[in-house]
Amino acid sequence: MTAPSTVALTVNDRAYEKPVDPRTTLADFLRQELGLTGTHVGCEHGACGACTVLLDGQSVRACLMFAVQASGHAVTTVEGLAHPDGSLSPLQAAFREHHGLQCGFCTPGMLMTLTELLRDNPTATEAEVRDTLSGNLCRCTGYAGIVAAALDVLARLAPDVKGR
């Protein structure tokens, strides 16, 4: 048996320090040790995007990363997107309004991926939204509602931007 390591990180603005087996993925750590089950594990190969979280603001596949690699960093999961009072973020509300989810399995990864895009490129076009989502698989929606939700938020961020 491998000796445990200690992981010290911030998740959704809350500091944690816990012993962990060095082979534990970040996804398993978030789900099993912290009870943050919004991060889904689909393919365990990084191909589906269901496990996407933000590490220091950049999207990463939590199934491909060991928890010990996140030590000293800030992680944001889908649970961290809502406002402190529990109200939905604009993107989460747009997903609801535009029917951007059905079974919901891909939704956390989609939300995290789009959160990064909206923050980094508030003038993104529909083509850029679709390109950004190309690493996230959804088997239910056909992406129409997901793209519509992202474009709705983008329109609210920059209503005078043309070409959407």
Q: Which CATH class is domain 5-80?
A: alpha beta
Pairing of strands 5-11, 74-76: parallel
Q: What's the start-to-end Cα distance of the chain, in Å?
A: 55
Q: Which residue has the tokens 């402190």?
A: 84
pLDDT over threshold 90, residue 87: yes
Q: What dotted CATH number matches 90-157? A: 1.10.150.120
Question: pLDDT (tens digit, 9 = 90+) per residue, 101-156?
Answer: 888 889 999 999 999 999 999 999 999 999 999 999 988 888 999 999 999 999 99
pLDDT digits (tens, 9 = 90+) for 20-52: 999 999 999 999 999 999 999 988 888 899 999
Helical ranges in the chain per DSSP H: 26-28, 90-97, 107-120, 126-132, 144-157
**Alpha-carbon span 128 to 159, nearest angstrom:** 17
Alpha carbon 64 to its chain centroid, in Å, reads 14
